[in-house]
A and B are shown apart, each in its own frame.
Chain A
C-alpha cells in the first residue's frame, strides 16, 4: 500500500499478507467431514452386521425343513453330521447348553478370582507387589486365545483326567471352561480395580475412623460403592466368554450334547461355526445358512449383555465430585 509506505511502521509489519480465510475455512470443513465419515464408518459396521445376520439367516428360516419353534425348542443339532437335509435337525438347545456350560465354569473361575485379585490390588497390595502382579495380568490378557486352547489340551485336560481317574473325556466342557476363565480373569480384574480405585479415599478413611478392619472396609464399603462398575465388568466377562472361539474349538469337543454333565464333550455355538467353516460345506445349502442362525443367537446374547452393562453403569454409577 503506497499510503502507508511513509509511515513509521517496521517493514515486516507493513508487508503483512493475510491468507484468505475462506479457503482455510473450506479446508477445515473438509477435515471435519472426513473425521465425521470415520465416525460414521463404525455405525456402518453395525448396520452391516445386522443386515448380514438378518439377510443370511433369512435364507435359513425360509427353508421348509426348518421351523422357528423347532429352532428354539429342539434338543438335537445335527447340521454337520447329516448330509441329507431331510434328516438334519436344527434345535439350538444343545449348542446353547454347551455354551452355557463352558461359560458357567469360566465364570466360577474368573469372577471370584478376578474380584478378589482386584480387591487385593486396589486395597492391600504395596507398590512392589503391584509391579509384578499388574504386568503378569497384562501378559495373560495378551496371550492369544489359540494358545490358551492348546494349554487346555496339553495341561488342563490331562491333569483333570489324572485327578479323577479318567472320568473326563479328552475333550470336555470343564477344561475349556477353565481356560476361558483364565482368559477372562485379567479383564474382570482390571475393570473392577478401575471401579474400586474411583471410590474416593475419604470413604475408606471414614470406615477406618469408625474402627473397621481392612476386610470390612474393602467388603462393606469399597465394593458396594463400586458395585455398578464391578457388575458391568462381570457382564462384559460373561459376554466375552460366550463369544470365545478358539479355546472351545480346540478343547470343548465337536459333539453337540444337551446334558448338564461338565465332563462330557460339548459343542458351543462358536465351536459349531468353526467346525462348519472347517468342513467346507458348500455355500448356499441350508446347513451352511444355519451358521448365520447360530451367529444371530450369539450376537443377540452378547449385544444384550453389553447393553445391560452400559445401562447399569450409567444408571447406578455413583459419581463422587
Chain B
C-alpha cells in the first residue's frame, strides 16, 4: 500500500496528493476496511448459525407435537380411520424395509459395477473412451433428474410395462401370471360359514353357477366330488362332513385366488417390487458417484504394484482396489439407502397414496405402505389427531435415519484412523 511513500516516488512527476498520501485518510480508510471485514465475519457467524437454529426449531417443534403419541401403539398398530388415537405404523415400517431391501439389492451391484467399469477399466481406444465419457455425462445428468420423474418412469415401465401385457384392471388377475397363483371359485357349503373351493379353468369367467356335480379341492389339496342338494330332494344331510361337501343346487360362486409368497406376474402392478426397483433408479446415480470417489481415492501405486506382479486388471480390482475402497463405498451406500428410506415422491407415484393396509406384503406382487407415504397422508389431513400421529411417525423415521447415518459416520471414521 502507498502509505509509506519512498523518496524515489516523491521526486517523480505524480501530483503531491497522491505521492504524500494523507496519513489520517489512509488510516481511516484502513480502519473502515478492517471494520467492514469484522462486520462481514459476524454476518457470516450469524448466517451460519441460522442453519443450526433451523435444525433446532425443526426438531423441537416436531418433538413437542409428537411426543405424546410415542407409545407402543405406534409401532404395533396399523392405520385406522375409525380410531385415529390408536393408529400406528407397523405395516409402514415393514413396507419400508421391504422396499429398501429390494432397492439395495438392485442398486448396489449395479452402481458399484458401473463405478468399477468407469474407474478401473479406462480404455485406450478412442471409441471406448467416448463411451466412457458419455456414460459419465449421463450419470451426472441422471443425478439431476427430479425423483418424481423417476416415479413416473417406474409407473410406466414397472407397473404398466408400457401396457405391453394389456391394461391392468382392479380385482382382475391382469397380465401374465408365471407362478405362485391358484384360482378358485368360492362357493358356500351347507355347513354355515364354510366354503368349498372349485378350481377355476376359465379365467375370464368371474362367477360359476353350480347345476351338477363338479370337482373341488379340500384344505389338503385333495380332489373330491361336490354333491348338490335341493329342497325337493329331502332334508339336509345330517352328517357334518357330508354337509361340508355339499352345496345348494344353483349356488353361485365368485372367483378367488390363492397366492403363495413367490407369486410372480408381469407386469408388476402396484407392488413393492415395482416400488423398490423405482427407488433403486433414484439412488443409482448417488451410489455410482460415491463409489467412484472411493475408488479414485485408492492410491495408484497399489494398483501398479499389483499389475507389476502380473495380476490382470480384474484381479487387481478384485483383490486390491475394491478392498481398499470398500469402507468408502459402504459409507456412500448407507447414505444412499437412508435417502431411499426417506424418499416419498417416487413411491407415492408408483404405489398410489392409499394407506389402508394392516400387514406387510404377503407376496412378491403385494402392495405396501412406506413410512414417508404414511407421514404424507397423515400430515395432509386437517384433524389435529392425525397431525400429532404424523409428528410421532416422523420421530420414528428420523430415529431410523439417524441410526443409519451414525453407522455411516462410524465406518468413515474407522477408515480415517488407518
Contacts and interface: CB of A to CB of B under 8 A. Distances in A.
Contacts of B55: 136, 139-140
A302 B146 contact: yes
Given A136-B55, A245-B148, A146 B41 contact: no
Interface in A116-172: 116-117, 119-121, 124-125, 129, 132-133, 136-140, 142-151, 153-155
A280 interface: yes
Interface string B35-63: 01101110111011011101101100110
A303 interface: yes
A28 to B, nearest CB: 5
Given A147-B398, A274-B345, A277-B349, A43 B58 contact: no
A295 B155 CA distance: 13
A321 interface: no
A27 B312 CA distance: 11
A140 B50 CA distance: 12
B52 A132 contact: yes
B176 interface: no
A203 interface: no
Interface in B217-252: none
Contacts of B146: 239-240, 242-245, 270, 298-299, 302
A249 interface: yes
Nearest to B338: A142
Nearest to A309: B144
Interface string A21-39: 0001001100110111111
B68 to A, nearest CB: 15
Given A32-B121, A52-B156, A144-B372, A125 B48 contact: yes
A320 interface: no
Contacts of A280: 352
A195 interface: no
B353 A42 contact: no
A16 to B, nearest CB: 14
Contacts of A62: none
Contacts of A43: 134-135, 138
A140 to B, nearest CB: 6
A202 interface: no
Contact of B345 (A182, A214, A245, A309): A245
A151 B51 CA distance: 15
A133 B48 contact: yes
B359 interface: no
A211 B29 CA distance: 12
A211 B37 contact: no
B186 interface: no
B149 interface: yes
Contact of B37 (A42, A143, A216): A216
A307 interface: yes
A42 B376 CA distance: 30
A310 interface: yes
Nearest to B387: A154
B314 A32 contact: yes
Given A42-B139, A43-B135, A151-B58, A137 B145 contact: no
A222 interface: no
B41 A124 contact: yes
A159 to B, nearest CB: 10
Interface residues of B, number: 88
Interface in A89-132: 112-113, 116-117, 119-121, 124-125, 129, 132
A273 B156 contact: no
Given A49-B153, A119-B44, A42 B288 contact: yes
A295 to B, nearest CB: 5
Contacts of B62: 147, 150-151, 154
Q: Is the interface of B mostly helix, strand, loop or mixed?
A: helix
A22 to B, nearest CB: 13
B342 A216 contact: no
A295 B149 contact: yes
A41 interface: yes
B45 to A, nearest CB: 7
B411 interface: no
B348 A306 contact: no
A119 B45 CA distance: 10
Contacts of A283: 160, 167-168
Interface in A38-74: 38-43, 45-46, 48-49, 52-53, 55-56
Contacts of A173: none
A132 to B, nearest CB: 7
A226 interface: no
B52 A215 contact: no
A223 interface: no
A74 B379 CA distance: 33
Contact of B137 (A120, A150, A310): A310
Interface string B368-387: 00001001100110000001
7 contacts: A42-B288, A45-B153, A117-B47, A133-B51, A140-B51, A150-B394, A246-B345
Given A132-B52, A182-B54, A302-B149, 18 more contacts: A32-B117, A38-B109, A39-B118, A46-B142, A119-B44, A133-B52, A143-B401, A150-B62, A150-B391, A153-B379, A155-B58, A210-B1, A215-B40, A215-B41, A239-B146, A274-B349, A277-B349, A310-B140
Interface of B: 1, 33-34, 36-37, 39-41, 43-45, 47-48, 50-52, 54-55, 57-58, 61-62, 65, 109-111, 113-114, 116-118, 121, 134-135, 137-150, 152-153, 156-157, 160, 162, 167-168, 281, 284-285, 288, 312-314, 335, 338-339, 341-345, 348-349, 352-353, 372, 375-376, 379-380, 387, 390-391, 394, 397-398, 401, 405
Closest 8 CB pairs of A and B: A243-B146, A144-B342, A38-B113, A306-B144, A213-B37, A120-B44, A215-B37, A35-B117
